[in-house]
Amino acid sequence: MTVKVGIIMGSQSDWPTMKETADILDTLGVAYEARIVSAHRTPDRLWEYGKTAIARGLEVIVAGAGGAAHLPGMIASKTRLPVIGVPVQTRALSGLDSLYSIVQMPRGFPVATMAIGAAGAANAGLMAAGILALNDPDLARRLDDWRTALSTAIPEDPRHD
Ligand code: RP5
C-alpha cells in the first residue's frame, strides 16, 4: 500500500497523543508513516521532510507538537500538501500554548488546526482520511461505514443500562 499520510511529531513524548491519529488510520485501512521531526531539535530533518514529501508520494501531513509548537507551520512553509495540525496538551498551559502556536498562521500558509489533545489527534486521522476519500471510493465507503457505526453506537435513552 502506498504511504499517503505522514504523521510527524516534535518529540517521542507526543506519540501517545499522535497514536490516536495512527489508530484511526489503521481502522480505516490507510497507510501512513510516523516520524519524530522536531522544528527545534532536528531542523534539518524537518527541512528534508518538507522538501521531499510530494516526491515521496505523500498527500497529507498530520503534524503534532506541544508548547512552542512550530512544527505544523514550518512544515506548511516547505510543502503545498495539506497540513493538519494537532496541538498536543501541555502541563504548563494545558495546550493553549500549542493551540495558539499552530492556529494563528499568517495569510498564505494554512494549517488546518484540530482540537487540543487526543480528540484532535483522532480527528486529524479522520480529516486526513476524508481528504484521501475524495479520490478513493473504497476508502469513502469505509469512512461512511465508520461514521454510521459511531452514530448507531450512541443510545437514544441515557438510562440504557
Ligand atoms: C515540543 O516540545 C514537542 O512537540 C513536545 O510536545 C514538547 C516537549 O517535548 P519533550 O521535552 O517532551 O521532548 O517540541
State the CATH number of the domain containing residue 114.
3.40.50.1970
Question: Is the full-model pTM beyond 0.80?
Answer: yes
CB of 120 within 6 A of ligand 1: the answer is no
> 111 C-alpha vs ligand 1 centroid, how far in Å?
19
* Number of domains the chain contains: 1
The SS3 of residue 115 is coil
Is there a domain that residue 158 lies in?
A: no
| Residue 161 confidence (pLDDT) | 64
Is any atom of ligand 1 closer than 6 Å to the C-beta of 97?
no
CA distance 81 to 150: 29
Establish if 101 belongs to a structural domain: yes
Task: Tell me, yes or no, whether 84 lies in a domain.
Answer: yes
Residue 138: inside a domain: yes
pLDDT 10s digits, 39-90: 999 999 999 999 999 999 999 999 999 999 999 999 999 999 999 999 999 9
Query: Is the residue at 32 inside a domain?
Result: yes
Residues in CB range of 146: below 8 A, 6 or more apart: 27, 28
Candidates 91, 154, 146, 88; CA nearest to 115 is: 88
Cell of residue 112, nine digits: 488546518
Domain around 134: 5-152
157 within a domain of the structure (yes/no): no
Instruction: Outline where DSSP puts E strands in the chain.
Output: 5-9, 32-36, 60-66, 83-88, 112-113
What's the average model confidence in pLDDT over 7-35?
Answer: 98
ipTM of the complex: 0.96
- Arithmetic mean of pLDDT over the chain: 97
Q: Give the residue whose CA is nearest to atom 6 of ligand 1.
A: 66
> Tens of pLDDT along 120-134?
999 999 999 999 999
